[in-house]
Structure 1
Amino acid sequence: MSTIADNKRPLAIIFLTVFIYLLGFGIVIPIMPILSTQMGATALQTGLLLSAYSLMQFIFSPFWGRLSDKYGRRPILLICLGGEVFAYLLFAQARTLEMLFVARLLSGFFGASISTASAYISDITPPQERSRGMALIGAAFGLGFLFGPAIGGLLTVWAEHISTDAFFRTSFSSYWVSGLCLITFLFALKFLKETRDLSKVKQETRNRFQLIAKFFKVPTIGPLILVFFLASLAMSTMEATLVLYMKDKFNWGLKEVSFGFAYIGVMLIVTQGFLVRRLIPKIGEKQVLRLGLISMTLGLGGIAFANSIFAMAITQTLLALGLGLVNPSTLGAISLLADKDEQGTVLGTTQGMSSLGRIIGPAIGGALFGAWSIESPFLLSGSMTLVALFIVFLIFHSIPNAGQKTKTSSTDEAQHA
């Protein structure tokens, strides 16, 4: 069976695809409030605009995953990359709030194919390397999260020297994202190979909610999807209020908070690009998942008790390390447990539930921050991951540990070397 080393080119394309998705997301997020305000949006409309992307991912991640199971990974990824080109062009051309909503909805619709990218990795990686392969997606997330806002800011400054048009300053970066999507599309068109044997495809007729109900009933897979949802919900609850919390408690401004988020991005890259790939062969998926949830719980809950910048740095380190360990080990375990003909469907359902968490989380965090106390969103977030940790303890014996190398496998590798 092939290994990660045997599939460097297709993995590079998938990595680039996910990176471009998150880079575009990171570039437009900081300019979204400015652009929407220029178009007369209220605070509520701006919030809905930010939620539109995640809403479409919740609805359509299972859709793209199911289509990729039926028609193949390659055509779905190409369609969605081409769609992203159009979506960002439309965003750049938007001059009304309605058009801006359409552009973000389309971007979320095509960006929901992240589930197909995950299924592609599951197709080309053997069981013992599955979670390490999934960590590549997390590393791409971290890079996009890190460089997106920074590149967006630089492009905005550049745009100010090109034109004095108010809309051009905020839309200029979208042209660049569209161009990057086009380059990735052309690269994938030439080099991305199909991984599905379409002659053995099973027909799936259930709708999205029936699929959610189906997979939640499957032993171990259902609880792991719930764990993934809780982790996403906890993170989005924290993210929605962290800027306000840092402003009220430490008098931080946008610049300082941006550096803080960049630090989290760096830690995600280090964790998923390096640490996960070293830990899983040593201790396996289940131990990595448990360790990650413990770290996330301490990081999220610790924010509420941090009384200095140094203490906050510790909580953010624990949080980033935990998230970097939880995501690939959970996705890898779900992929290992799922039928090979349902990889796209089950991973799409999982990513859809994660998107649902990103829709609900900001509303919960904002409501608690304003109505209870500034610490309450972080205490709740820590409680969510604590519940997820409890679930993992309950199903611990049934979580696959395919990535852990035994002494026998290590000896075999040495003999083949």
Structure 2
Amino acid sequence: METRFLLLGAVALQMVGFGIILPAMPFLLRELGGDAAAQGLLVSLFSLMQFVTAPLWGYVSDKIGRAPVVAAGLALGAAGQAVAYAAQSLAQLALGRALAGVGGGTLAALQAWIADLTPSDRRASAMALFGIAFGVGFVAGPAIGGALGTLHPRLPFLASAVLYALAGTAVARLPNTRPTRRQGFEIVVGLLAVPVLMLNLGMSMFEALLSYFSAFARGLTPFQIGLLFFVSGVAAGAAQPVVRRLERSSSPGRNAPLGMATMAVGLLLLSFASSSLAVLYIGAALVSLGGVVASSFIFAAASRRGAGVELGALQSAGTLGRIAGPTIGGYLYTTISATAPFIASAAVVAATAALTSLLLSRVGLR
């Protein structure tokens, strides 16, 4: 139990280290002669490296254990942020982001490590805790980075390197684990990459455009937008006891689609939020709550039949969805209407619910 919570703390530290640089990135780019296009490419480069390496890291962790792989990933993250801190050119900054992206691919091994330490009938709640630690770190990181960035635009990169190094030192001391039996790539578990991709596609459209929609279609102030994200964060945190209750009474094949249905309702509410602030807040809360429930049960189901390589494949599918989602959502927003991304996301998530139910029934988890 103690090891698992230390790992969750490492997840939070890693995501603080990731998010802490976001407010400072534009200013460092400008100092090095970059522009908005360069920032987009750097964000994509990080995600691309994570997408490529996650299954490889998962495979290696199945062979040698989770601890050395996660520690190596955090060390690469620290090295990448240190290179970015000292960068004197855009090429050096890109190298730093690429190294950090390769290190970020070990999140799947970290997730598998938590699964190894959790009984199979409690893995959904463990995955919910993973999602909450992930979200808390990502929310806290930009707030800390904004404060440090006012002192110097490079300072958040140095702080990020220190956080990655601290997390790596902590996990390197924890007991190593590996799968208890030899596990090959399960075809049905591999097929779960499709709903993971679709779920993240829909979720990323929501995340990428919620603040823009709130500011320019609804006229919210920065304080109101901050409160909106706070409410969403509280809803995501509330998902953990919901997941614990659901996993005692039903199966992943029913609970994951239930979470997606909750998301779809929330997304549809957002499309009707032009006249009601309360509807906007309720819709965003339902999307966050449903998203944690859905992803927790999908990854819990995969961890019963797969190992690190399978979880890595699912992480890569999610990354691919997050790369494509904001671009698709932005196109729908500008060419059709401000609510089109939310309607499209609702349709994608509703279709994903039906597909997930079918696939999990194939795994015997209906």
Q: Same fold judged by TM-score > 0.5?
A: yes
Greater CA drift, 287-296 or 310-319 = 287-296
Residue 178 (structure 2) aligned to one of 189, 196, 201: 196
Greater CA drift, 101-110 or 258-267 = 258-267
CA deviation vs aligned residue, 1:263-315 (integer Å, no higher than 9, x gap): 3223222313x332233113332332122001111112322221222110011
8 Å CA contact 2:231–2:281 kept in 1: the answer is no
SS in 2 for 1:193: coil
1:356: Cα distance to partner?
Answer: 0.6
**Does residue 149 of structure 1 match 2:145?**
no
Tell me the equivalent position of 1:285: 252
1:335: Cα distance to partner?
Answer: 1.2
Q: How does 1:145-294 map to 2 (within 5 A)?
A: 145-157=138-150, 159=151, 169-190=152-173, 192-196=174-178, 218-219=187-188, 221-272=189-240, 274-294=241-261
Distance 1:112 1:69, change over 3 A: same
Tell me the equivalent position of 1:78: 71
Tell me the equivalent position of 2:297: 329
The one-letter code of the counterpart of 1:175 is L
8 Å CA contact 2:77–2:104 kept in 1: the answer is yes
1:223: Cα distance to partner?
Answer: 4.2
Greater CA drift, 293-302 or 261-270 = 261-270
1:400: Cα distance to partner?
Answer: 5.2
Q: How does 1:17-416 map to 2 (within 5 A)?
A: 17-157=10-150, 159=151, 169-190=152-173, 192-196=174-178, 218-219=187-188, 221-272=189-240, 274-307=241-274, 308-338=276-306, 343-395=307-359, 397-398=361-362
CA deviation vs aligned residue, 1:101-147 (integer Å, no higher than 9, x gap): 22222111101101001111222222111222222211111211221
- RMSD of equivalent CA atoms: 2.2
1:201: Cα distance to partner?
Answer: 5.7
Structure 2 unpaired stretches of 5+:
none
The one-letter code of the counterpart of 1:185 is G
* CA distance, structure 1, for counterparts of residue 144 and residue 176 of structure 2: 33
8 Å CA contact 1:142–1:266 kept in 2: the answer is no
8 Å CA contact 2:32–2:88 kept in 1: the answer is yes
* CA distance, structure 1, for counterparts of residue 14 and residue 111 of structure 2: 14
Identity of aligned residues (%): 31
Tell me the equivalent position of 1:415: none
* CA distance, structure 1, for counterparts of residue 211 and residue 256 of structure 2: 28
8 Å CA contact 1:336–1:400 kept in 2: the answer is no
Structure 1 unpaired stretches of 5+:
1-7, 160-168, 205-213, 403-417
* CA distance, structure 2, for counterparts of residue 283 and residue 54 of structure 1: 35
SS in 1 for 2:251: helix
* CA distance, structure 2, for counterparts of residue 267 and residue 36 of structure 1: 35
8 Å CA contact 1:39–1:97 kept in 2: the answer is yes
SS in 1 for 2:33: coil
* CA distance, structure 2, for counterparts of residue 270 and residue 34 of structure 1: 36
8 Å CA contact 2:68–2:172 kept in 1: the answer is no
CA deviation vs aligned residue, 1:335-368 (integer Å, no higher than 9, x gap): 1122xxxx01000000000001111112111222
* CA distance, structure 1, for counterparts of residue 30 and residue 234 of structure 2: 31
8 Å CA contact 1:285–1:400 kept in 2: the answer is no
The one-letter code of the counterpart of 2:35 is T
8 Å CA contact 1:333–1:400 kept in 2: the answer is no
The one-letter code of the counterpart of 2:328 is I
Aligned length: 365
The one-letter code of the counterpart of 1:180 is L
Distance 1:174 1:253, change over 3 A: farther
* CA distance, structure 2, for counterparts of residue 319 and residue 31 of structure 1: 29
* CA distance, structure 2, for counterparts of residue 270 and residue 99 of structure 1: 41
Greater CA drift, 375-384 or 237-246 = 237-246
Larger radius of gyration: 1
* CA distance, structure 1, for counterparts of residue 137 and residue 253 of structure 2: 27
Distance 1:197 1:226, change over 3 A: closer
The one-letter code of the counterpart of 2:254 is Q
8 Å CA contact 2:79–2:161 kept in 1: the answer is yes
Greater CA drift, 16-25 or 350-359 = 16-25
* CA distance, structure 2, for counterparts of residue 118 and residue 320 of structure 1: 20
The one-letter code of the counterpart of 2:261 is I
SS in 2 for 1:53: helix
8 Å CA contact 1:70–1:201 kept in 2: the answer is no
SS in 2 for 1:117: helix
1:257: Cα distance to partner?
Answer: 2.9
Distance 1:107 1:265, change over 3 A: farther
Instruction: Provide the TM-score with structure 1 as the length reference.
Output: 0.81
